[in-house]
Structure 1
Amino acid sequence: MLRFTANLSLLFAELPLLERFQAAKQHGFEAVEIQFPYTLPAEQIQNLLDQQDLQLVLFNVDADILLQGGEGLAAVPEKRDQFKTAVEQALVYAERLKPRVINVLPGRCLDPQRLGEYQTTLLENLSYAASAFAELGITTVFEAVNSYDMPGFIVDSSQGMLDVLAKVDHPNLRMQYDIYHMSRMGEDCAGFLRQHLDKIGHIQFADCPGRGQPGSGGVDFDTLFDIIAASDYKGWVGAEYRPTGITAASLDWLKTCAVK
């Protein structure tokens, strides 16, 4: 069975964030995710969830200025303390909001000569986060991001995720698999999902190219959603795309997939 979340950082962006919870519920979602919830107090988010009878499935550990072109926190050797502070902040929110998973963005290395240092730091920080969130019964995930949209990203392939997962070797660490990012890298998403769903804690999607809703690009979502629906995967599937118009007009896929 497929269970979809609305990523409120991208969907319903035509509305103020406070109004997106109600919009998600009205359009058929039972759960939501937020990339970085820290602009709102955790208590306010919980009230909005309660009002709409929604679950918050996922949010990210703070990543500093990664989305503005920076390196992020999780792999930068000089930012180990800042990363731990970000984990502590996420723990405060997690205690109140009880998400199913928390995502750590590996980030970039902008100096190729230091890549080894950054990779080592990432492994250490993922282990730290996985242990910290395990105390609350929350799974830690990390994701690969395509290197076209984010040049220098530490992990930019499915194999890269598998390698990191094996090296950290923590029982509370799983992959977050993003269909858009791996499609952008030209990967066989269907083949990977068939083989490795047991190692995945969360899935996100957008069509490719363009990162719009299903049907706006060339991704075969019928096949991918069928694979997930027929598997033992018990996680959620996050709609993390940029609608090509208003969000309500982009949701035909949800009506079709509700029966899977």
Structure 2
Amino acid sequence: MPRFAANLSLMFNEVPFMERFASAAEQGFRGVEYLFPYAFEPAAIAAELRRHRLQQVLFNLPPGDWEAGERGIAALPGREAEFRASVDTALHYAEVLECRQLHIMAGVAPEPAQRQVMHECWLENLAWAAPRLESAGITLLIEAINHRDMPGYLINYQQQARDAIEMLGAPNIRMQMDFYHAQIMEGDLWQSWQQHRNQVGHLQVASVPERHEPDSGEVNYPWLFEQLDQAGYSGWIGCEYRPWHETSAGLKWFERWREQQWDSWQ
């Protein structure tokens, strides 16, 4: 049965961040994810998770200077020491929040000619981070992101992520497959998932092209959710979408799955 995690960076923005855990639980979610927790003390977040019986499913490593346009530092040559420090920071949060998946963002290439050098740096940093995370029982996730939303991002296609996983050979590196990004770059979502399913550790969804609730746009998500259920997918599906209006008003798509979320939690 699909397990859905509310993305608290995008959903329930009607209230401050620390109040969104309660909102997610009230709407029937049993798991949460978000981009970054670092503006808050991990103990305070952990208290909200316990209070509302929520599982912390995923968050990202520190991305560098987000306001300046950085989207990860794992592939930025000369930033290796900063990257390693960011792994330690994320590990501390993950341990307190009992989170077992961390997404490592690669970064944006300032010039196309730098992509090869960046790719080599990315692989080296992943190779360093993987055993450190594995010793803590954590899966390292890498994601292909479309070049429309994030121009210049290092990896854009699912096969690029898979190639890196197979090249590195670490048992705890998996793909974070976002159907929104995959549809924009490649389409043929079900075939793509079947092709890469053994490498996929986490799924995310949003409508295309607007990135709103998964009940509109060009992707037939109800059908995809049924197929994932029948195929026995047991991971989480992160709801990384921007609600059209007030979050709870747009959760009609979630109604048929809401009551079953509790069963999956037991």
Q: TM-score range by the shorter chain?
A: over 0.9
The question of 1:187 aligning with 2:202 is answered no
* 1:86 and 2:99 correspond: no
Shift of 1:72: 2.6
1:118-137 to 2 correspondences below 5 Å? 118-137=118-137
RMSD value, Cα: 1.5
Q: Residue 217 of structure 1: CA displacement?
A: 1.4
TM-score, normalised to structure 1, is: 0.96
Say if 1:67 and 1:101 are closer, same or farther in 2 by CA, change over 3 A. farther
Shift of 1:181: 0.7
Q: Which runs of 5+ in 2 are unaligned?
A: 262-266
What one-letter code is carried by the residue in structure 2 that aligns with 1:215? D
Output aligned runs, 1:17-28, within 5 Å. 17-28=17-28
Letter matched to residue 231 of structure 1:
A
Say if 2:72 and 2:104, in contact at 8 Å, map to a contact too.
Answer: no
1:243 paired to 2:259? no
**Bigger Cα displacement from structure 2, 100-109 vs 18-27:** 100-109
- 2:111 corresponds to which letter in structure 1? D
What amino acid maps onto 2:166 in structure 1? A
More displaced 10-residue stretch of structure 1: 202-211 or 158-167: 158-167
SS in 1 for 2:94: helix
Contact 2:144 2:177 in 1 (8 A): yes
- With over 3 angstroms needed to count, the CA separation of the structure-2 counterparts of 1:149 and 1:68, relative to structure 1, is farther
Q: Is the Cα contact below 8 Å between 1:209 and 1:218 reproduced in 2?
A: yes
CA distance in 2, matches of 1:127, 1:223: 37
Matched, 1:96 2:96: yes
Task: Find runs of 4+ consecutive structure 1 residues off by over 3 angstroms.
Answer: 257-260
- Segments of 5+ residues of structure 1 without an aligned counterpart are none
Q: How does 1:90-239 map to 2 (within 5 A)?
A: 90-239=90-239
Percent identity over the alignment is 38
Tell me how far apart the structure 2 counterparts of residues 187 and 158 of structure 1 sit (CA, whole Å): 11
Deviations 1:10-40 (A, max 9, x none): 0001110011000000000011112100111
- What is the number of equivalent residue pairs in this alignment? 260
- Measured against aligned partners, the alpha-carbon deviations of 1:88-142 in whole angstroms (never above 9, x if no partner) come to 0001111111112111111211122221110011111112222111111111111
Amino acid at match of 1:58: L
After TM superposition, give the deviation of residue 157 of structure 1 in Å. Answer: 0.8
Residues 60, 103 of structure 2: 8 Å contact kept: yes
CA positional deviation for 1:68: 4.5
Q: TM-score, structure 2 length as denominator?
A: 0.93
Q: Which residue of 1 aligns with 2:39?
A: 39
Q: Give the CA deviation at 1:232.
A: 3.5
Alpha-carbon distance between aligned partners in 1 of 2:59 and 2:217, rounded to the nearest angstrom: 26
